[in-house]
Amino acid sequence: MDVNSHAEELASDLGVDKAEVKADLENLLEYSVPIDEAKQSVRRKHGGGGGGSSPTPDAVDLANITIDHGNVTVTARVLTRGTRTIRYQGDDLTIREGELADGTGTISYTAWQDFGFEPGDSLTIGNAGVREWDGSPELNLNDSTTVAIADDPVNVDHEVGGDRDLVDIAAGDRGRNVEVRVLECEEKTISGRDGETEILEGVVGDETAKLPFTDWDPSPELEPGADLRIEDVYVREFRGVPSINLTEFSTVTLLPNPVTVADDAPRLSVADAVDSGGMFDVELVGNVLEVRDGSGLIERCPECGRVVQNGQCRSHGAVDGEDDLRVKAILDDGTATVTVVLDDEITAEVYGGGLDDALSAAKDAMDKDVVADAIAEGLVGGAYRVRGSLSVDEYGATLDATAFEVADDDPADVARAALTEVRG
């Protein structure tokens, strides 16, 4: 249903003017208030009371909930609970989010008030709204929802609590707890919704992976080398990779023992790495199929650093471009392909010369392409071990390399060995 149909339904239920109801609804939706919440708010405003559907909807197994359900009653175990503040109609509102499970499956929830439950609790939740979130149903616990301790504990196959290794952290996670070492940390001033704010940005690591973080409410414990347990963080995608977010609700505790941080990046097949949706630090091994256009000697916009084509920057128009070196290579390991981007330093290594050498080679040949051609001649067909940050968007997968070296093992052999293992 679109806003118009919702407004029509409400207007006829409440016996008020449709245009007025629609304006109220649109105003609330602008603040990202879920449609169920917005409708109830409008009902209350016009004296129509909450709900609208039956006060005690049927009990439903989590696996059977679809986005077509209006309101449901469920009996489930709380797996995780994260706390966050969002801005709602100009006010800061504290919400709780996480996952519930029963014997049939799991579902995400958002609680618009504090019902006081914790991970591990078995609950019967009455009259929870169902809304669509990211293509899947999600439960909304609002002021017409009842929450009671279930008569019997709910047995679930899922891990209760938010403790996770960094490798298992994904964008969209809520209420996660991690045990990490702070590897990098720096203060930053940003212009936030309440003016200038100090935040911390950096990188944390554990035995499984490394991830970037942002602390929106700087904790003094966060400094390079600190070994910490951090509870109640949420995860969002930032520059194509999952990023850990600490808030005023996160708790930070010093750990008595050092956290082991892996020197190596996790090594994945290209297909698995791309399926992960983005990784901060990953190792791939594959063959270079092709060196793409926009490699070798390039020009960048002095304002924004974007690559300039025919003297034109996409944002700044005609500019006096600055010379730079770069490689964009297609890497293939038989499972999928990824575009590997090498910066000026790594490009100089694979080219066998720096910017000055490239410029003089181009001048001698009166052709800039000789640099990309020489690089392609050296790279194409070879097997390489690449490490860096992988981002995935609608244009494909890109790995910004921090290391690029000749692979001592043939990717095809590695793939065959993996197959033999599986068959064995």
The residues, ordered by sequence, that sit 6+ positions from 50 with a Cβ below 8 Å of its Cβ are 40, 43, 44, 143, 144
* Binding residue (CB under 5 A) for Zn ion from 188, 316, 363, 416: 316
Contact between 76 and Zn ion (CB under 5 A)? no
- Mark 248-287 with x for binding to Zn ion (rule: CB under 5 A) and - for no binding: ----------------------------------------
Binds Zn ion by CB under 5 A, chosen from 304, 365, 403, 412? 304
Q: Taking CB under 5 A as the rule, does residue 349 contact Zn ion?
A: no
d(CA 336, CA 411): 12
Nearer to Zn ion, 67 or 318 (CB): 318
Q: How far out from the chain centre does Cα 257 lie? A: 29
Query: Is residue 303 part of the contact set for Zn ion (CB under 5 A)?
Result: yes
Torsion angle (degrees, nearest 10) of CA 157, 161, 167, 170: 90
Return the number of the residue (304 or 403) whose C-beta is nearest Zn ion.
Answer: 304
Determine which residue in the list 70, 315, 365, 381 makes contact with Zn ion, applying CB under 5 A. 315
Coil vs helix vs strand at 8: helix
Stretch that binds Zn ion, among 125-133, 175-183, 202-210, 295-303 (CB under 5 A): 295-303
Instruction: Name every residue whose Cβ is closer than 8 Å to that of residue 283 and which is 6 or more positions away in sequence.
Output: 264, 265, 266, 267, 268, 385, 386, 387
Residue 322 in the binding site for Zn ion (CB under 5 A): no
Residue with smallest beta-carbon separation from Zn ion: 301
Q: Where are the beta strands (DSSP E) in 292-367?
A: 296-300, 312-313, 317-318, 322-332, 337-342
Which of 89/315 has CB closer to Zn ion? 315
Cβ distance to Zn ion smaller for residue 118 or 303:
303
For residues 94-125, one letter each, b for 16 or more C-beta atoms within 10 angstroms of the residue's C-beta and e for the rest, the string is ebbbbbbbbeebbbbbbbbeebebebebbbbb
**Binding window for Zn ion (CB under 5 A); candidates: 66-74, 224-232, 276-284, 296-304:** 296-304
Q: How far is the CB of 142 from Zn ion (least distance, A)?
A: 47
Q: Which of 313, 327, 338, 390 binds Zn ion (CB under 5 A)?
A: 313
Distance of CA 399 to the CA centre of its chain: 16
C-alpha 101/C-alpha 122 separation (Å) is 9
Which of 133, 129, 150 has its CA nearest to residue 141?
Answer: 129
* Residue (4 or 315) nearer to Zn ion, CB: 315
Token readout for 353 is 């010369």
Q: Is 301 in the site for Zn ion (CB under 5 A)?
A: yes
Between 70 and 311, CB nearer to Zn ion: 311
Distance between CA 366 and CA 354 in Å, rounded?
Answer: 18
The two tokens of residue 159 are 């891990």
Phi, psi of 264, rounded to the nearest 5 degrees: -85, 150
Contact criterion met (CB below 8 Å) for 124 and 150: yes
Q: Which stretch binds Zn ion (CB under 5 A): 312-320, 385-393, 394-402, 414-422?
A: 312-320
For the chain, percent helix, then strand, then coil, each to nearest 5? 20, 40, 35
312 binds Zn ion (CB under 5 A): no
Q: How many residues bind Zn ion (CB under 5 A)?
A: 7
CB nearer to Zn ion: give 156 or 301: 301
In angstroms, give the least distance from the CB of 417 to Zn ion: 47
Place of tokens 């194509």: 240
**Segment contacting Zn ion by CB under 5 A, of 9-17, 81-89, 272-280, 315-323:** 315-323
Identify how many contiguous H helices and E strands the chain contains and give both numbers.
8, 21
Q: Which is nearer to Zn ion, 223 or 303 (CB)?
A: 303
At its nearest, how many Å lie between Zn ion and the CB of residue 323?
Answer: 15
Is residue 367 within the footprint of Zn ion (CB under 5 A)? no
Span of 10-18, 82-90, 184-192, 310-318 interacting with Zn ion by CB under 5 A: 310-318
Our CB check for Zn ion shows the closer of 303 and 405 to be 303
CB of 354 to Zn ion, least distance (A): 24
Assess 30 for contact with Zn ion (CB under 5 A).
no
Name the residues that contact Zn ion, by CB under 5 A.
Answer: 301, 303-304, 306, 313, 315-316
